[in-house]
C-alpha cells in the first residue's frame, strides 16, 4: 500500500505522506538543511527546476507540487506588509483582512541609533509577514544617501555605511527568526530614482568598497540575509540584476552568499546574462509573453521558456540551473518548510506599541532655542494652533512599493488632540495646499483634502489665529507624491514645496512659540531657520505617527534621535551636485546614462568636513530636554600592534534635571595617510540611558578594521602605521574629546 499512497499523493499534487519511517529527507524538518536541499534537487526534473526560478504571478513563484514543495510568496516591505493584489495585475485583490501595522520608515529607524529598536522592528514586521503566509519580505534597504533629492531615501538608513551596517543586522535577524526571509535591497549603487533603469554607475573600487558595499556585506555576513535583490541600474554596463562583478565576483565569491538573488520587478533584461551572471529568481519581467497584464504567460520570462529551450538545444548545460534551483530550495526550506517557522500575528497591540516606541526614539529635536519644547500647559485654558496639510494627511498611502493599507493611522493632529484632551484647546487650519489626492495602486485614504481658498487666504487665516495661540505647531515638509519622497522619481530641489516657506515665515512673525515639524525622509532647505525657535524632524512614522510626535512635543518622551544624514544648507554643499555628478550624462548612441561618482568617498559629512562647509544640521545631530557632559576620553594603549583591540573610554554624565538618552559617537581619523582619507569617519556609537546626575563610562573596542582603507591596487583592506586620532562627541560637528594612539 505504501507505494500506491505515495504515488496517488504525488499525482494529485499533495506532499508525500509520512508513513512509518519513510518520510522523504527533503520533507523531514529535523534533517540538516543541505541534505534536504540535495535530496529535493535530485528528485526534480529539468522543467521543474526551471519552474521554481521565475514568477508564476505578480508576487509568487512556483514550487514543486509533485513533491509537496510549496510556492514562494513574496511581499513588499520594508515598513509594513503590502496588501494583496490580483494574480496577474497590480489592482487590489479586494481582501478585507489584509490591513497591516505601518512601522516608521527606515530613516526614522536609523535615527534611533539603537540596534535594540532595529531588532524589535524586525521581530514585529516578521511576525506580520509570517501571519500573512509570506516567505520573503522585500526589504530592508541600505542604499547610501548620496544626494538629498533621491526620491527613495526614506526607505534607506542614511549616509554612513557603518551606521547602516550596524542597524540593518538586527532587523534581518529579527525578521528571519520568524522563518521569513529578508530580501536585502537594492544591490547596489541604486542612489537615485531618475533614469533608474538606464543609469550606469561609474565608480572606483575604493569608493565602492568603502561607502556603498559595507552595509550590504554586514547584512549578508553578519545578518545572514537569506535573499538579496538586484538593483535596476547598471554597473560596468551590465544590469545589476544579472551582473558578473557584483553578483558572482563579490556577493557569491568574496562574501560567500549562499542564498538566492531575486530580481527587482522588471529588472531582468536578457536570458544569457541571467543564466550566467548570478540571478536566481526572476520577477516582474515585461517580456513579449506578458504585456499589460496578459494572463498565464510567465513561461515567456527570460529564465523560463527561453532558458529551457537553450538547455534542450544544447546551448547551455544545467550546472547554472542546478545552482539557481539549489538556492531557491534553500530559501523554501529556511522559510515555509522550516521547523522554526512561526504562526505570527497581525495588527496586534504589541506591534502598535513597537511602532510607537521606534517612532519615539527616532524623532530628532533639531533646534530648541529658549526651551520652547516641551510645551508647558501648566495653566488651564491655553490654546494650541496646528497648521499644515501634513498634520492631517495620511502618509502610509503612496510613495511607491512601500505604500500600505493600514488598519489605522494616527495623524499628528489627532495625536496632539488625544494627548492634550482636557489640558488645552487644539485647533487646526490648512495653511497650505499640497497633494489633495489620496490613492495608490487601488488603496485610497478616503480623505477629502479639496480646497477652494487661495494661498493668501490660507496664510492670512493661519496668521490671524496664530496671534491668539499659546503655541503654534506647523506640520509640513514633503509627502509621498511623485517628485517628493517617492519611488521612480527624484525631487526637483532641496526646497520645501507648496510655498510652505512663506507660511512658516509669516507664522514666525505672528507667534514666538512656533514649532516646525518637518515630515520627510530627506533633508530640506530651511531659509527661516534663524527665525523659528524650535524645529523637529518627524520623518514618516507610520501607524502611530501622531502619538509619537505628541509624546515628544508634550515631554512625555525625552527626544533622543540623531540625524542619520547631513542637512546641507544648499545642494552646492553636496558633492554629487557641486561636481555636476548628478543625474549623469546620456550617451549619444543609446539610452544609457553614465553617472560618475566624482566625489568618491566624500559623501555627506565627509564632504562637508573636507570642504570646510558648515551644514544646516550635521550628521549625528540631535538635542534632548536634558543636558549631557562629556569627560576626557582615554585609550588603554598609546601604541597598538593591530593584532588585538584597543579600548577607548569616555565618561558621560546626565547633568540635566530629567532622565534621557545620549548617543555617544566615536570617529577615527588618519591625518598622515599615504592616500586621501576623510577628516574622520564613524567607527562606533552607543546609546546610553541616564538618570539625572548619573555618570557612565562608555567603552569602545577598536580593531584594525576600523583603521583601514581599501587599497584598490591590492584589492585588500590596509591599515598604515602611524598616528590615529579618535574623536568622541554627540554629533559629527560637536566633538567633546579626542585621544591619539599609534599603530605600529
Give the pLDDT confidence of 21-49 residue by residue, as tens digits.
578 999 999 999 999 999 999 999 999 99
pLDDT band at 379 (very low <50, low <70, confident <90, very high): confident
Give the pLDDT score at 18: 43
Give the pLDDT score at 292: 57
29-334 is classed in which CATH architecture? Alpha-Beta Barrel (3.20)
Q: What is the mean pLDDT of residues 395-401?
A: 96
C-beta of residue 164 within 8 angstroms of C-beta of residue 215: yes
Q: Where in the chain is the domain with CATH 2.60.40.10?
A: 626-744
Is residue 602 predicted with pLDDT exceeding 70? yes
pLDDT band at 5 (very low <50, low <70, confident <90, very high): very low
C-beta of residue 77 within 8 angstroms of C-beta of residue 125: yes
Rounded Cα gap, residues 289 and 268, in angstroms: 14
Rounded Cα gap, residues 404 and 735, in angstroms: 40
Give the pLDDT score at 297: 82
Task: Of 700, 701, 697, give the one whose Cα is nearest residue 653.
Answer: 697
DSSP string, 50-66: HHTTBBSSSSEE--BGG
Give the pLDDT score at 4: 38
Task: Of 345, 359, 335, 396, give the one whose Cα is nearest residue 125.
Answer: 345
Return the CATH fold of 358-561: Rossmann fold (3.40.50)
The region that residue 519 occupies, defined by phi over 0 for left and psi between -120 and 50 for alpha, beta otherwise, is beta
Cell numbers for 345: 500575528
pLDDT band at 3 (very low <50, low <70, confident <90, very high): very low
Rounded Cα gap, residues 110 and 155, in angstroms: 10
pLDDT band at 14 (very low <50, low <70, confident <90, very high): very low
Q: Find the catalytic residue in 51, 264, 485, 501.
A: 264
Coil, helix or strand at residue 312 = helix
Give the pLDDT score at 642: 85
Is residue 13 predicted with pLDDT exceeding 70? no
DSSP string, 70-133: PPEEEEE-SSSPPPPB-SSSSSB---SS--BPPPPPHHHHHHTT-HHHHHHHHHHHHHHHHHTT
DSSP string, 646-660: EEEEEEEEE-SSS-E
Rounded Cα gap, residues 560 and 111, in angstroms: 9
Q: What is the mean pLDDT of residues 471-491?
A: 98
pLDDT band at 8 (very low <50, low <70, confident <90, very high): very low
Give the pLDDT score at 21: 58
Beta strands in 568-638 (DSSP E): 585-586, 593-596, 628-630, 634-635
Q: Which of 3-12, 312-321, 551-560 has the lowest mean pLDDT?
A: 3-12
User: With the C-alpha atoms ordered 210, 214, 215, 216, is the resulting torsion angle positive or negative?
Assistant: positive
Give the pLDDT score at 380: 86
Query: Cell 505604500, residue?
Result: 403
Q: What is the mean pLDDT of residues 180-193?
A: 98
Beta strands in 584-734 (DSSP E): 585-586, 593-596, 628-630, 634-635, 639-640, 646-654, 660-669, 681-690, 695-702, 709-711, 716-718, 722-729
Coil, helix or strand at residue 2 = helix
C-beta of residue 438 within 8 angstroms of C-beta of residue 403: no
Q: Is 644 tagged catalytic?
A: no
Q: Where in the chain is the domain with CATH 3.20.20.300?
A: 29-334
216-254 confidence digits (pLDDT tens): 999 999 999 999 999 999 999 999 999 999 999 999 999
Is residue 50 predicted with pLDDT exceeding 80? yes
256-299 confidence digits (pLDDT tens): 999 999 999 999 999 999 999 999 999 999 776 666 556 568 99
Rounded Cα gap, residues 719 and 742, in angstroms: 11
Coil, helix or strand at residue 181 = strand
Query: Cell 570617529, residue?
Result: 667
CA angle 562, 431, 520 (to 5 degrees): 25
User: For the chain, what is the mean pLDDT?
Assistant: 95
Give the pLDDT score at 26: 97
626-744 is classed in which CATH architecture? Sandwich (2.60)
Q: Where in the chain is the domain with CATH 3.40.50.1700?
A: 358-561
Is residue 612 predicted with pLDDT exceeding 90? yes
324-378 confidence digits (pLDDT tens): 999 999 999 999 999 999 999 999 999 999 999 999 999 999 999 999 999 999 8
Rounded Cα gap, residues 670 and 735, in angstroms: 16
The pairing of strands 639-640 and 737-743 is parallel
Rounded Cα gap, residues 83 and 408, in angstroms: 14
C-beta of residue 551 within 8 angstroms of C-beta of residue 612: no
Direct distance between the N- and C-terminal alpha carbons of the chain, in angstroms, rounded to an integer: 74
pTM above threshold 0.85: yes
Amino acid at each position: 500500500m505504501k507505494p500506491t499512497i505515495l504515488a496517488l499523493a504525488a499525482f494529485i499534487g499533495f506532499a508525500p505522506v509520512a508513513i512509518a519511517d519513510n518520510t522523504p529527507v527533503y520533507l523531514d524538518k529535523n534533517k540538516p538543511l543541505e541534505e534536504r536541499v540535495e535530496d529535493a534537487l535530485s528528485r526534480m526534473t529539468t522543467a521543474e527546476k526551471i519552474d521554481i526560478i521565475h514568477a508564476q504571478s505578480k508576487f509568487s513563484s512556483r514550487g514543486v507540487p509533485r513533491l509537496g514543495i510549496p510556492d514562494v510568496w513574496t511581499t513588499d516591505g520594508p515598513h509594513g506588509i503590502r496588501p494583496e493584489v490580483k494574480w496577474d495585475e497590480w489592482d487590489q485583490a479586494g481582501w478585507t483582512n489584509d490591513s497591516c501595522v505601518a512601522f516608521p520608515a527606515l530613516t526614522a529607524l536609523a535615527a534611533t541609533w539603537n540596534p535594540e529598536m532595529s531588532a524589535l522592528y524586525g521581530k514585529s514586521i516578521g511576525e506580520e509577514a509570517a501571519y500573512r503566509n509570506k516567505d520573503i519580505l522585500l526589504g530592508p534597504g541600505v542604499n547610501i544617501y548620496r544626494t538629498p533629492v533621491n526620491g527613495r531615501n526614506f526607505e534607506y538608513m542614511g549616509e554612513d555605511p557603518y551606521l547602516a551596517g550596524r542597524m540593518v543586522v538586527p532587523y534581518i535577524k529579527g525578521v528571519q527568526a520568524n522563518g521569513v526571509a529578508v530580501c536585502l535591497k537594492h544591490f547596489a549603487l541604486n542612489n537615485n530614482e531618475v533614469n533608474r533603469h538606464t543609469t550606469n554607475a561609474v565608480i572606483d573600487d575604493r569608493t565602492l568598497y568603502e561607502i556603498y558595499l559595507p552595509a550590504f556585506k554586514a547584512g549578508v555576513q553578519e545578518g545572514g540575509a537569506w535573499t538579496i535583490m538586484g538593483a535596476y541600474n547598471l554597473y560596468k554596463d551590465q544590469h545589476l540584476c544579472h551582473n558578473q562583478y557584483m553578483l558572482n565576483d563579490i556577493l557569491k565569491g568574496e562574501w560567500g552568499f549562499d542564498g538566492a538573488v531575486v530580481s527587482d520587478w522588471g529588472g531582468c533584461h536578457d536570458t544569457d546574462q541571467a543564466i550566467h551572471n548570478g540571478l536566481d529568481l526572476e520577477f516582474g519581467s515585461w517580456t513579449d509573453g506578458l504585456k499589460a497584464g496578459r494572463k498565464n504567460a510567465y513561461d515567456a520570462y527570460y529564465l523560463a521558456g527561453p532558458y529551457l529551450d537553450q538547455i534542450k538545444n544544447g546551448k547551455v548545460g544545467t550546472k547554472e540551473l542546478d545552482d539557481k534551483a539549489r538556492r531557491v530550495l534553500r530559501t523554501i526550506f529556511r522559510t515555509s518548510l522550516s521547523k522554526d517557522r512561526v504562526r505570527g500575528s497581525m495588527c496586534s497591540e504589541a506591534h502598535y506599541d513597537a511602532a510607537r516606541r521606534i517612532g519615539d526614539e527616532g524623532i530628532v529635536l533639531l533646534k530648541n532655542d529658549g526651551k520652547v519644547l516641551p510645551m508647558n500647559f501648566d495653566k488651564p485654558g491655553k490654546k494650541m494652533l496646528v497648521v499644515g496639510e501634513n498634520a492631517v494627511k495620511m502618509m502610509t498611502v503612496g510613495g511607491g512599493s512601500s505604500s500600505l493599507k493600514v488598519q489605522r493611522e494616527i495623524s499628528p493632529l489627532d495625536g496632539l488632540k488625544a494627548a492634550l484632551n482636557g489640558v488645552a484647546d487644539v485647533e487646526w487650519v490648512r495653511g497650505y495646499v499640497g497633494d489633495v489626492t489620496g490613492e495608490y495602486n487601488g488603496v485610497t485614504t478616503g480623505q477629502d483634502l479639496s480646497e477652494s481658498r487661495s494661498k493668501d487666504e490660507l496664510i492670512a487665516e493661519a496668521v490671524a489665529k496664530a496671534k491668539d495661540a499659546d503655541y503654534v505647531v506647523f506640520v509640513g515638509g514633503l509627502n509621498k507624491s511623485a517628485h517628493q519622497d517617492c519611488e521612480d522619481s527624484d525631487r526637483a530641489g532641496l526646497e520645501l514645496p507648496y510655498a510652505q516657506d512663506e507660511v512658516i515665515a509669516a507664522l514666525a512673525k505672528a507667534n514666538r512659540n512656533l514649532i516646525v515639524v518637518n515630515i520627510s525622509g530627506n533633508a530640506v532647505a530651511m531659509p527661516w531657520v534663524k527665525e523659528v525657535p524650535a524645529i523637529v524632524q518627524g520623518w514618516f512614522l507610520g501607524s502611530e505617527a501622531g502619538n509619537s510626535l505628541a509624546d515628544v512635543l508634550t515631554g512625555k518622551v525625552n527626544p533622543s534621535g540623531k540625524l542619520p544624514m547631513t542637512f546641507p544648507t544648499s545642494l552646492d554643499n553636496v558633492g554629487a551636485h557641486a561636481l555636476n555628478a548628478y543625474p549623469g550624462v546620456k550617451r549619444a548612441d543609446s539610452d544609457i546614462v553614465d553617472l560618475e561618482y566624482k566625489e568618491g568617498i566624500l559623501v555627506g559629512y565627509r564632504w562637508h568636513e573636507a570642504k570646510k562647509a558648515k551644514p544646516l544640521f550635521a550628521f549625528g545631530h540631535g538635542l534632548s530636554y536634558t543636558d549631557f557632559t562629556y569627560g576626557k576620553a582615554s585609550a588603554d594603549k598609546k601604541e597598538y600592534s593591530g593584532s588585538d583591540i584597543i579600548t577607548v573610554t569616555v565618561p558621560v554624565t546626565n547633568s540635566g534635571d530629567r532622565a534621557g538618552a545620549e548617543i555617544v559617537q566615536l570617529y577615527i581619523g588618519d591625518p598622515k595617510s599615504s592616500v586621501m582619507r576623510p577628516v574622520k569617519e564613524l567607527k562606533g556609537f552607543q546609546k546610553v540611558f541616564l538618570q539625572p546626575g548619573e555618570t557612565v563610562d562608555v567603552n569602545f573596542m577598536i580593531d584594525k578594521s576600523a583603521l583601514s582603507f581599501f587599497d584598490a591596487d591590492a584589492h585588500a583592506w590596509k591599515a598604515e602605521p602611524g598616528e590615529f586620532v579618535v574623536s568622541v562627541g554627540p554629533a559629527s560637528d560637536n566633538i567633546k574629546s579626542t585621544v591619539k594612539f599609534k599603530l605600529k
